[in-house]
């Protein structure tokens, strides 16, 4: 707009001066105090942010205990190994049964044969449980069992070592399951732990009697008969 008189020119000049002074004042304030700061977040917003951070940083609780590559890979490996251990036990008992049978220890042979079937049954129980839980299983090769012993006592000593090793293996599985808080596996293992206690006690008792055979003639044959009767009842 072009001023048409000196009075209008003076009025316009005064207005422009006021505007310039205001702009200058704003610039000075900005230089002195810096750019405007954003308003502080409310307490509600801050608490919500903390909750989001906690959820995102906390470990997932939905990971399945047997997920491959997950935190319980050790449990998966041990569970697979235990299936193999049960089959190994079955094979050794079968080998011992053959050894006794070929030397006319029919009672011992019958007992070992029954134990072989029981150990195989244990392996199949592990397989059944794994199938119910969708646990991936990979059967491993079973090494050939020992078949050469000098006398009956040596056979029973090997059997005791086998059971002691099986006990340790089961405890490793239980320890891994406990670390993963997989209580279903722990409950599944409980009967096996109790069976191991009974098996080790029984075999230790048999070994003590076999060792005394030289002191009491006929004791070993009596024991052979007793175990034969026991195995047929079982």
Q: What residues are designated binding site?
A: 86, 119, 122, 163, 196
Write out the two tokens for 125: 């129980």
What is the signed CA dihedral for 174, 175, 176, 177, rounded to 10 degrees? 50
Choose among 98, 84, 86: nearest CA to 142: 84
Which residue numbers belong to the known binding site for Fe cation?
86, 119, 122, 163, 196
Write out the two tokens for 28: 């000075």
Contact predicate 158/146, CB 8 Å: yes
Contact predicate 178/186, CB 8 Å: yes
Which spans in 58-105 are helix H?
A: 73-101
CA 100 – CA 152 distance, rounded (Å)? 8
Contact predicate 177/186, CB 8 Å: yes
The CA–CA distances, whole Å, from 233 to 20, 175, 228 equal 113, 35, 9
Choose among 85, 86, 79, 87: nearest CA to 185: 79
């Amino acid at each position: 707009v072009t001023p048409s008189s000196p009075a209008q020119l003076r009025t316009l000049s005064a207005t422009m001066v006021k505007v310039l002074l205001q702009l200058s004042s704003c610039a000075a304030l900005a230089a002195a105090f810096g750019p405007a700061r954003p308003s502080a977040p409310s307490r509600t917003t801050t608490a919500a942010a903390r909750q989001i951070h906690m959820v995102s940083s906390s470990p997932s609780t939905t990971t399945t205990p047997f997920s491959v590559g997950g935190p319980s890979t050790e449990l998966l490996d041990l569970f697979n190994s235990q299936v193999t251990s049960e089959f190994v036990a079955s094979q050794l008992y079968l080998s011992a049964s053959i050894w006794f049978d070929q030397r006319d220890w029919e009672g011992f042979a019958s007992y070992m044969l029954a134990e072989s079937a029981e150990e195989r049954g244990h392996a199949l129980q592990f397989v059944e449980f794994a199938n119910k839980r969708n646990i991936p299983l990979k059967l491993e090769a079973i090494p050939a069992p020992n078949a050469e012993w000098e006398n009956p006592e040596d056979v029973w000593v090997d059997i005791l070592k086998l059971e002691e090793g099986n006990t340790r293996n089961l405890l490793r599985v239980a320890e891994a399951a406990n670390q993963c808080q997989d209580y279903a596996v722990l409950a599944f293992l409980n009967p096996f732990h109790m069976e191991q206690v009974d098996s080790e006690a029984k075999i230790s008792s048999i070994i003590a009697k076999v060792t005394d055979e030289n002191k009491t003639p006929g004791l070993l044959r009596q024991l052979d008969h007793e175990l034969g009767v026991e195995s047929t009842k079982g």
